Amino acid sequence: MALRGHVLRYGDHIDTDVIIPARYLNTTDPAELAKHCMEDAEDDFIGRVRPGDFIVAGENFGCGSSREHAPIAIKACGVSAVVAKSFARIFFRNAINVGLPILESPEAAEAAANGDELEIDLTTGVIRNLTRGASYQAQAFPGFLRDIIDAGGLVPYVQRQLAAR
């Protein structure tokens, strides 16, 4: 499946507190969380983000709190994937578990600028920067994680496991 959208570019160490501040952990409703996504990272993320856009960031994206509200909020505000040089480990798991596509590619992240148009093939992990005419191969997920992703997240994966017992 190829996704197409524009880049919203961020730096290193974007933490889950700026992705979704604790003052909004008063709800588990994705639509409500989406309203405050990236609120402490910039003034008008919600005004700027368009459905299908990609967040592209530097090192250690999603560091800090284990709050799963962070990938949920990103997904619910229409972002179709996050590309980063690297992900913080809990965010990495959370994103896969809730079905937010993430791609690790230092080269793609380094080259992309705000507003660039990307085309991403989630099956192959190929990221094409249409604005710059460049193509990158994201890190492949281990087969085991592929199974969780293919199942649509950890919940359907675990349901299947429990049913098989």
Q: Check binding of 35 to other proteins (CB under 8 A).
A: no
In 3D, which of 102, 86, 106 has the Cα closest to residue 94?
102
CA distance 32 to 47: 15
Q: Is 104 in the site for other proteins (CB under 8 A)?
A: no
Q: Please tell me whether residue 124 binds other proteins under the rule CB under 8 A.
A: no
Q: Residue 90, exposed/middle/buried by CB under 10 A (0-12, 13-18, 19+)?
A: middle
Instruction: Identify which of 61, 84, 65 has the alpha carbon closest to the alpha carbon of residue 21.
Output: 65
Is there binding between residue 22 and other proteins (CB under 8 A)? yes
Within residues 137-156, the interface with other proteins by CB under 8 A covers 142, 144, 153-155
Residues that bind other proteins in the complex, under the rule CB under 8 A: 12-13, 15, 17-18, 21-23, 25-28, 39-40, 59-60, 63-69, 86, 88-90, 93-94, 97-98, 142, 144, 153-155, 158-159, 161-162
